[in-house]
Chain A
Amino acid sequence: MSRHVSTGKTRNKFLSTTATFILGAVAMSHSAQATEELNALVWCDHTDPALIEPFEEKYDVKVNLKEYEGTGAGLSIIEQSRPGDWDVFVIDGVDVHRAVEMGVLGEIPADALPTSDIFPEVVMADNNVVDGKTYAVTEKFGYNTISFDKTKVDPKDMEDMSVIWSDKYAGRIAVYDYYLPVIGLVGLGLGIDTADLGADDMPAIKEKLFAMKKVSKQVGEVVSSQTALATGEVDILVGGGEWITAVLSEEKPNLDWIIPKQGGLRWAQSIGVMKDSEKPDLALKFVQYIMSPEGQARLATSSCFWGMPANAKAGENLTDAQKAALRWDDQEGYLKNSQLYPIPDADLDAEMQDAWVEMLQQ
């Protein structure tokens, strides 16, 4: 009897659990159907839930994010997708024209963007506007320059770019593994503006690249570069900046960065709506959210990497500590003393990459 009752209870429990599970699944499926979806091809800083969830809740939408590194990789993903698969695209500011030429980005109504709130130096109309039409908007920027451990090197030495190829800190230097900004930095060190950098400058740049490789300990991507600097494996990071040190500002106050007297490189990422998006209105709302002061503050302090928000009004949503880590008050000087990435044509791009591989193989 007891066994029978027990079996009955077990069966009832099993049935009720199954029913609950099925109902839950049906409810979830209903909820999934009711919720609209938006597909965004982004950099890792957009994958922070603290940034995306407020938008999802406000518009009852599920934002599917795919992270990529390198414009080539991003454009390849788009080429392998069907038209309409992607709604939003985050891209290196210097590559917006390339994406427009490929028919990837669609026009955005200029009056839908808070252009007047954006720091004038990073509006970058030359990059984001093609033939008078706006295709993207700068959402975040920062600097590729020199990060260092101020307790282990003389900060005065960091004011001169030539420190990156001198013997003084041999074996204590790491180099960020991205040829475009580092070649730009070496160019600045030689007195060549990024906008003027051409094939004729490459022999001199190569010579300094090789000299830099000789005194450097490693050339690595973001994580290994940051780890090397944070663990004391190296004391200087060429190509670093606030995006490497700001996120560590509380735990590692000994890490600092500087724009040398020759200048630094300014990186900027842009966001746009895909030309073939089937939800251009929702995609534009997403762009507007990212460009709003709230969205900008969250993007600036994303768990992946920090960087200055393009919208000056984002300052109202940042704490004093966050602003200090981003060097909010110093931006005027930094913006004046920094230049955009070089924008090489395909041939120069290939030559730069060859020089980079040649340097790595030294």
Chain B
Amino acid sequence: MATASLEQRENRRAWGFVTPALLWTVAFFVIPFIVMAAISLATRKGREIVMAWNFDNYIEFFEKAHLLKGLFVSLEITFTVTIISVILAYPLAWIIAERVPQKWQRMALIMAILPFWTSYVVRSYSWLLVLAQNGVINNTLTYLGVISEPLELASTRTAAVIGFVHFFVMLLTLTIYANLVQMPPNYRRAAADLGANGFQVFWHVVLPLTLPGIMVGAFLTFVLCIGDYITPQILGGNNELALPQVIMLQLGRRADFPMAATLSIILMGVVTLAYIACARWLKMERT
């Protein structure tokens, strides 16, 4: 009896702690999401928005190649950015964790995340100046005689990928570094004692143990990159549109909220699929 009462009290306490976060989530995520989902089922009649409760907007999205292309552009950019960021961040995190003396590691991490301290928009515009026809890169290469004509770097998908990678390498470095420093050094010593060479130790011991850090960082990169509007808008030169840019276009002049909501729900669906894949993989890793 006394145990049950204690359990009830514990339960009430737990609910007390959870309720504010739950209310916050309901108020600022669940309700807006339901409203957005409902609006995506509306339609525009002239300038009016009418609740039609049909899937016409979704059908239109899949029927119109230029809208569908927005999703593919987003996915292509996001996968490219995620893969390049992992390839660059892993060695950086490894160098900080393994080669930098412990007393300097904090400083090295601060240096690595220093670009985070500047505004995202300012950073994107700065890249535009670096990549421009008469920017730092082209001027340097021309001065060194490597090129005679300036390279077309700004206002391209490459520029958008560079801007993204610059940002996400820092994020991935942090998650991979956290994984690396938690790994007991005895694992590697044991593998070496059993005759594994440096590469085999990395491939069979270090890499599998740091995969959760890579996956979490890669998932965060995926989510933040696929939903980003600023970088492709500033650096991509609108030469192709990612899905967030297509969403913004619906709102600018025509205020087509039903189509904007539809595209947002589709974007969210893609992120949810990525989350499910990541969560399943992490769960499989644990079991």
Contacts and interface: CB of A to CB of B under 8 A. Distances in A.
Interface stretch (B83-91, B110-118, B192-200, B239-247): B239-247
B44 A346 contact: yes
A233 B129 CA distance: 10
Given A219-B237, A361-B70, A361-B240, A349 B253 contact: yes
B166 interface: no
A354 B66 contact: yes
B46 A346 contact: yes
Given A227-B128, A233-B132, A354-B66, A219 B238 contact: yes
Contacts of A191: none
Contacts of B239: 218-219, 360
B252 interface: yes
Given A218-B238, A220-B238, A233-B133, A357 B252 contact: no
A345 B128 CA distance: 38
A73 B255 contact: yes
B47 interface: yes
A73 B257 CA distance: 10
B133 A361 contact: no
Interface residues of B, number: 35
A35 B244 CA distance: 42
B134 A345 contact: no
B254 A75 contact: no
A219 B66 CA distance: 16
B50 interface: no
Contacts of A219: 237-239
B67 interface: yes
Given A72-B254, A349-B254, A361-B240, A218 B155 contact: yes
Contacts of B253: 70-72, 178-180, 349, 353
A231 B69 CA distance: 31
B66 A357 contact: yes
Interface in B148-194: 152, 154-155
Interface residues of A, number: 38
A358 interface: yes
Nearest to A102: B47
A69 B253 CA distance: 8
Interface in A197-228: 217-221, 224, 227-228
A173 to B, nearest CB: 12
A231 B66 contact: no
Interface in B241-271: 241, 246, 249-257
Given A224-B234, A357-B67, A360-B238, A72 B255 contact: yes
B154 A98 contact: no
Interface in A120-135: none
Interface in A308-362: 345-347, 349-350, 353-354, 356-358, 360-361
A217 B73 CA distance: 18
B234 to A, nearest CB: 7
Given A70-B253, A219-B237, A353-B249, A358 B66 contact: yes
Contacts of B240: 360-361
A282 B142 CA distance: 60
A217 B66 contact: no
A81 interface: no
Nearest to B257: A76
A155 interface: no
A232 interface: yes
Contacts of A70: 251-253
A72 B237 contact: no
A360 B155 contact: no
Interface string B67-82: 1011001000000000
B64 interface: yes
A101 B47 CA distance: 10
Contacts of A107: none
Contacts of B73: 361
A177 interface: yes
A345 B69 contact: no
A101 B133 CA distance: 48
Contacts of B257: 76
Given A69-B252, A358-B66, A220 B47 contact: no
Interface string A239-255: 00000000000000000
Given A180-B253, A219-B238, A345 B64 contact: no
Interface in A58-73: 69-73
Contacts of B69: 361
A75 B254 CA distance: 10
B68 to A, nearest CB: 9
Interface of A: 69-73, 75-76, 98, 101-102, 171, 177-180, 217-221, 224, 227-228, 231-233, 345-347, 349-350, 353-354, 356-358, 360-361
7 contacts: A76-B251, A218-B155, A231-B134, A346-B46, A346-B254, A349-B253, A353-B253
Given A233-B134, A357-B246, 6 more contacts: A217-B152, A345-B46, A350-B254, A356-B249, A357-B66, A360-B66
Interface of B: 44, 46-47, 64-67, 69-70, 73, 128-129, 132-134, 152, 154-155, 233-234, 237-241, 246, 249-257
